[in-house]
Structure 1
Amino acid sequence: MNCIYAINGPVVKVRDTKSFSMREMVMVGKSKLIGEVIGVTDEMTTIQVYEGTAGLMPGDPVEPTGTPMSATLGPGIISNIYDGIQRPLKAMTALSGVYVTEGSAIAALDEEREFDVTVTVKVGDKLHGGDIYAQCPETPLITHRCMVPPYTEGTVEYVAPDGKYKVNDVIVKLRIDEETVQELTLVQKWPIRAPRPINKRLPISKPLITGQRIVDTVLPLAKGGTAAIPGGFGTGKTMTQHQLAKWCDADIIVYIGCGERGNEMTQVLEEFSELIDPKSNRPLTDRTVLIANTSNMPVAAREASIYTGITLAEYYRDMGYHIAIMADSTSRWAEALREISGRLEEMPAEEGFPAYLPSRLSEFYERAGYVETMNGREGSVTIIGAVSPQGSDFSEPVTQNTKRFVRCFWALDKNLAYARHYPAINWNMSYSEYSDDLAEYYNEHVGEEFCRYRQEISTLLVEENNLMEIVKLIGADVLPDDQKLIIEIARVIRVGFLQQNAFHKDDTFVPLEKQKLMMKAILLLYHNSLNAINGGKPISEIISYGFFDKLIKMKYDIPNDKLEMFDEYFDMINSKFADD
């Protein structure tokens, strides 16, 4: 029998054994704690335990399972709440109360729940990995499509009739060869650290529409893309992710609370259950999966929670859905890596993080993408990861390495947050590399002028930033009127366009068409004012017209369903300057 030799926090060592293989899932101790083999030598096997190791002793048994650490995939995942190793927290509460007890062996899916299954194949059909053989309504918004496990192919030998089935009931029998028949239920397993296979990656060409103006217009994110939200304490990382999760046009949201405070996860649960999905008028939980690994849960499970979440997302992507993952926060995941690395006595790199931190981050973000699935459908996984640099220091290793692997960087600024400017994304420090990839989509669906307006708005913000350096030194009075105009119009852009009120019914989500018309109104005022200044009119007189303040309020004054009101604004601006 294999016995524990040494225990160091979540790291357990077994001596003189050849029973284990790398990445194998094992059961540790009398309570059968879940662990994973992370190191094998001639003398020692090193195991990472995903639960609290209090009470373990040298000499306690360690049992191999012969399988890697895997996620259970099947109907019943949506609207569920899991911990970092995919144990359903609602079921665990019923079993053991509000605190998670070690060694709780609870099935990830409700094995007694029945689903209304429709079989989509017949006897004699040849099936390959990824092919859909049955489907059932998982929630009123999501149809669950049961797929042949990857790398499996055979001929259908038996088909169950349509009807109500539990997740472990046999739906199809597949003849693999003369001796082997594989039974297909509604469930399959997949190793969490291995990406699920696809047919091919497709070009990124569609935006993830969020209704947040600074995101959709100035710093767009594509479906299948990657974004980072770095920011210090109190800058609104979690709130920004909540807002994106509520309003983005992904089919399914996977929210990973990785090392989050318990009260924040409670807020997510309460908000999502109360919020009505604008597209379907159903609760948002009908298309949401929550992985809650709070900061008081075992540190090793925090490291696993990221992989569990991305595996669930890839599974639904393979059905042809578009998934958005909110990982909050990857910094606490990196801290879990650092702690475990220290227990393993590995050589530390920068700021104590392990030398393999960049490769782990890249492995995670590389699993995003817009793909053609094994069954010929299109699906995507978009990753939005929050980063929590200590003291808002963006030069620390997690932020810098994340920057290497994402193409969208939304830097949160504590000065904006403290000034109640939300989302507190600093447009001067942030960037998006997806603008050119998405230009064709914007031209086709919103109009060719959208990208032109966006470019002009961004240029004005950059010019204002440069002018403010001069203003800080010598004051605004010495600037010529055309430069004073840039500062005034930039204020309209900042307060009237980039700042957004999540509690206002028309401002919490803004369609692309309204965003375009808001930019058009701002630029119309700018060009008319510039022409008037070039004609000799002083800036003070132009400001006295009241248009600058009126445009700041247009986000509230013009409802999302009455965009024709913009014509009044355009006529008013044009006629006033024409009269002069």
Structure 2
Amino acid sequence: MINTGIIFGINGPIIYVAGNQGFKMGEMVLVGKQKLVGEVIGLTKKETTIQVYEETSGLKPGEEVTSTGAAVSVTLAPGIISNIFDGIERPLKEIQSRSGAYITRGISVEPLDINKLWDVHITVKSGDELYGGSIIAEVPETPAILHKSMVPPGISGIVTNVVSDGKYTINDPIITLKDFSGEERVLTLAQKWPIRIPRPVNKRFSSDRPLITGQRILDTLFPIAKGGTAAIPGGFGTGKTMTQHQLAKWSDADIIIYIGCGERGNEMTEVLEDFSKLVDPKSGNPLLDRTTLIANTSNMPVAAREASIYTGITLAEYYRDMGYHVAIMADSTSRWAEALRELSGRLEEMPAEEGFPAYLASRLSGFYERAGFMENLNGTEGSVSIIGAVSPQGGDFSEPVTQNTKRFVRCFWALDKSLAYARHFPAIQWLTSYSEYLSDLSPWYTANVGSDFVDCRNQLLSILTQESQLNEIVKLIGSDVLPDDQKLILEIARVIRLGFVQQNAYHPSDTFVPLTKQLKMMQTILYLYTKTKQLIAMNMPMSVLKQEDIFEKIISIKYDVANDELDKFDHYRVMIDEFYQQVLLKNA
């Protein structure tokens, strides 16, 4: 039954309907003459509260609100990959073709192309018994992604009718199921799912394998697991978006969902243009062949911004259910939290710290908890990894969004403006960043990369920590008074910073580095440290060791040794041995 109500109050994106007209909590409604999309967020005997996902200018009391009978949902079907949506899954390219550069209020556009014919291969036959999650058809969605259409969760039965392989639209009947009560259901390639409800799974696994990114400071020092969560906090210009670009391009996720949540319009345009030009290094095809973009700029309505991350995570869970590993780039959750704050203020709720609503923490936890490595209903394994950028005002990490995010993520990549201004990228500060996944991933590194990988990583981080402590002394009394063993630590730390931690996204050999090369680089740097420490123990002064250019040669390994030339590392070990002998002979 369609319920209707009359608007009696409007406060920005929040509108009020008199009385209880039979609306349901979370229900999607159409508001006013222009049929603006809204969602019921409050119900009392006296009034119904609705948030509107579009601009409410011109809306007036007395206009009608109509129920749709369904929650705010996304359409799940072939055509999602390589598409660009707004925060409530409206395709921006289709909107542009109809209304130009700006979204016309109340425009009604199908989320996915309902006229396109897809090549469908049916994977079931009459008499098969199916359950929620069972794969019923396969569609080549892009050259990189095979779309697997599934029975919606909660539906089961016996196949009574099935079409033959051929070309079908997403709304054409594909199979007919007779459920165990005798009722028949017709299934198509498309299904709908409410964005605020996680899709069900059989089992959640522990985090035991890394999401390989090819970025040394991430893979080695602060790794993230597949199905893990990470935050990238940083002030303006520290490289949050560029870091996410690198992760999107090089991480070993099958599918990327990029959510531009409340970003500046020109920055979002740059993202869209960059992604359209990027080439997938795995296949040589455009990166968009395995990417979906959700663009919700800062001038779009705040309610749609609040919904955008739920739209993105629901799309990710759908592809996870097919057995894919999905990575979500949410840029940025601070803008999403600001949308929550504005909506909370309109609702006249009691503010908490810095005006954010008291439920900020629970909303953040609800979002990040939807990540994980799962066994799906159909028995396949898939994962959703969430990497959320945080934009604290003035780079203050003590503000509520950053602090609450730290409570719910296990990986914290803190960007540092002093590193960024010094042109050290990625500008991740190794002293304030951390990863809680290291102990879980250690067995994987030992089995697949090398038994000493974690030990080498720990030694590198120890040297960088010692450097920080020594720099405090150097600031007070200068470096000349330090003993030679401490001067060596400073020099090796410089080699680690410039030759290992710093990475050039535009250099063909340095933009992506496999784990085997990362281990070889660590071993070479630590071998240099071992040999030079032996020389220092023999009373060789640091000034003599620096006369040779061995430190600079080790720094340049990242450029001089290609990813497929790992045998060259033997040459560097020989070079270090020769350096060791030359110093002994010269100072004998």
**TM-score by structure 1 length?**
0.99
In the alignment, which residue of structure 2 is the partner of 1:39? Answer: 42
Distance 1:178 1:289 in 2: 39
- Aligned partners of 2:495 and 2:525 also within 8 Å: yes
| Structure 1 range deviating more: 445-454 or 183-192 | 445-454
Matching of residues 199-218 of structure 1 within 5 Å: 199-218=202-221
- Aligned partners of 2:8 and 2:61 also within 8 Å: yes
Matching of residues 260-339 of structure 1 within 5 Å: 260-339=263-342
- Code of the aligned partner of 2:358: A
Alpha-carbon shift at residue 180 of structure 1 (Å): 1.4
In the alignment, which residue of structure 1 is the partner of 2:10? Answer: 7
Deviations 1:114-157 (A, max 9, x none): 11001111111110000101111000000000011001111101
What SS class does the counterpart of residue 544 from structure 1 fall into?
coil
In the alignment, which residue of structure 1 is the partner of 2:572? Answer: 569
Distance 1:400 1:136 in 2: 43
In the alignment, which residue of structure 2 is the partner of 1:152? Answer: 155
- Aligned partners of 2:130 and 2:157 also within 8 Å: yes
In the alignment, which residue of structure 1 is the partner of 2:113? Answer: 110
Distance 2:271 2:247 in 1: 13
In the superposition, relative to structure 1, how do residues 184 and 566 fare at CA in structure 2: closer, same or farther (>3 Å)?
A: same
For structure 1, the residue ranges without an aligned partner over 5 or more in a row are none
Alpha-carbon shift at residue 565 of structure 1 (Å): 1.2
In the alignment, which residue of structure 1 is the partner of 2:395? Answer: 392
Distance 1:313 1:178 in 2: 32
Alpha-carbon shift at residue 542 of structure 1 (Å): 1.0
Alpha-carbon shift at residue 39 of structure 1 (Å): 0.3
In the alignment, which residue of structure 2 is the partner of 1:423? Answer: 426
In the alignment, which residue of structure 1 is the partner of 2:85? Answer: 82
Distance 1:31 1:462 in 2: 60
Alpha-carbon shift at residue 65 of structure 1 (Å): 0.8
What SS class does the counterpart of residue 227 from structure 1 fall into?
strand
In the alignment, which residue of structure 2 is the partner of 1:64? Answer: 67
In the alignment, which residue of structure 1 is the partner of 2:544? Answer: 541
Distance 1:51 1:173 in 2: 38
Alpha-carbon shift at residue 23 of structure 1 (Å): 0.3
Identity, % of aligned pairs?
A: 65
For structure 2, the residue ranges without an aligned partner over 5 or more in a row are none
Distance 2:294 2:473 in 1: 49
| 2:33 aligned to which of 26, 30, 38 | 30
Matching of residues 340-379 of structure 1 within 5 Å: 340-379=343-382
Distance 2:182 2:47 in 1: 39
Alpha-carbon shift at residue 288 of structure 1 (Å): 0.1
Distance 1:134 1:554 in 2: 49
Distance 1:218 1:200 in 2: 29
What SS class does the counterpart of residue 546 from structure 2 fall into?
helix
CA RMSD of aligned residues (A): 0.8
Alpha-carbon shift at residue 575 of structure 1 (Å): 2.6
Alpha-carbon shift at residue 206 of structure 1 (Å): 0.9
Alpha-carbon shift at residue 574 of structure 1 (Å): 1.5
1:169 aligns with 2:172: yes
What SS class does the counterpart of residue 363 from structure 2 fall into?
helix
Distance 1:190 1:14 in 2: 26
In the alignment, which residue of structure 1 is the partner of 2:512? Answer: 509
In the alignment, which residue of structure 2 is the partner of 1:234? Answer: 237
- Aligned partners of 2:20 and 2:43 also within 8 Å: no
Deviations 1:275-299 (A, max 9, x none): 1111111100000000000111111
What SS class does the counterpart of residue 46 from structure 1 fall into?
strand
1:253 aligns with 2:256: yes
In the alignment, which residue of structure 1 is the partner of 2:102? Answer: 99
Alpha-carbon shift at residue 576 of structure 1 (Å): 2.4
- Code of the aligned partner of 2:242: M
| 1:477 aligned to which of 442, 458, 480 | 480
| 1:222 aligned to which of 222, 225, 228 | 225
Distance 1:520 1:317 in 2: 37
- Code of the aligned partner of 2:217: I
Alpha-carbon shift at residue 178 of structure 1 (Å): 4.8
- Aligned partners of 2:520 and 2:569 also within 8 Å: yes
Distance 1:178 1:411 in 2: 55
In the alignment, which residue of structure 2 is the partner of 1:440? Answer: 443
1:491 aligns with 2:494: yes
- Code of the aligned partner of 2:318: Y
Deviations 1:52-87 (A, max 9, x none): 001100000000111100011000000000000000
Alpha-carbon shift at residue 179 of structure 1 (Å): 4.4
- Code of the aligned partner of 1:116: D
Distance 2:181 2:89 in 1: 36
| Structure 1 range deviating more: 569-578 or 494-503 | 569-578
Alpha-carbon shift at residue 440 of structure 1 (Å): 1.1
Alpha-carbon shift at residue 274 of structure 1 (Å): 1.4
Alpha-carbon shift at residue 543 of structure 1 (Å): 1.3
**TM-score by structure 2 length?**
0.98
Distance 2:177 2:463 in 1: 63
1:552 aligns with 2:552: no
Alpha-carbon shift at residue 577 of structure 1 (Å): 1.1
Distance 1:117 1:322 in 2: 23
Distance 1:62 1:76 in 2: 31
Distance 1:553 1:238 in 2: 27
- Code of the aligned partner of 1:52: E
What SS class does the counterpart of residue 4 from structure 1 fall into?
strand
What SS class does the counterpart of residue 158 from structure 2 fall into?
strand
Alpha-carbon shift at residue 177 of structure 1 (Å): 3.8
What SS class does the counterpart of residue 69 from structure 2 fall into?
strand
Alpha-carbon shift at residue 253 of structure 1 (Å): 0.2
- Code of the aligned partner of 1:465: S
Distance 1:343 1:562 in 2: 60
What SS class does the counterpart of residue 444 from structure 1 fall into?
helix
Deviations 1:225-270 (A, max 9, x none): 0000000111111111111111111000000000011122222222
Alpha-carbon shift at residue 578 of structure 1 (Å): 3.6
- Code of the aligned partner of 2:306: E
Distance 2:83 2:173 in 1: 24
- Count, aligned residues: 580
What SS class does the counterpart of residue 389 from structure 2 fall into?
strand
- Aligned partners of 2:20 and 2:44 also within 8 Å: no
Alpha-carbon shift at residue 441 of structure 1 (Å): 1.1
Distance 1:322 1:178 in 2: 36
Distance 2:547 2:441 in 1: 39
Distance 1:163 1:68 in 2: 33
Distance 1:501 1:178 in 2: 62
What SS class does the counterpart of residue 37 from structure 1 fall into?
strand
Distance 1:415 1:77 in 2: 40
Distance 1:172 1:62 in 2: 36
1:459 aligns with 2:440: no
In the alignment, which residue of structure 1 is the partner of 2:246? Answer: 243
- Aligned partners of 2:5 and 2:21 also within 8 Å: no
Distance 1:259 1:16 in 2: 34
1:18 aligns with 2:21: yes
Distance 2:465 2:322 in 1: 43
What SS class does the counterpart of residue 12 from structure 1 fall into?
strand
Distance 1:63 1:346 in 2: 26
Distance 1:249 1:424 in 2: 22
Distance 1:158 1:26 in 2: 35
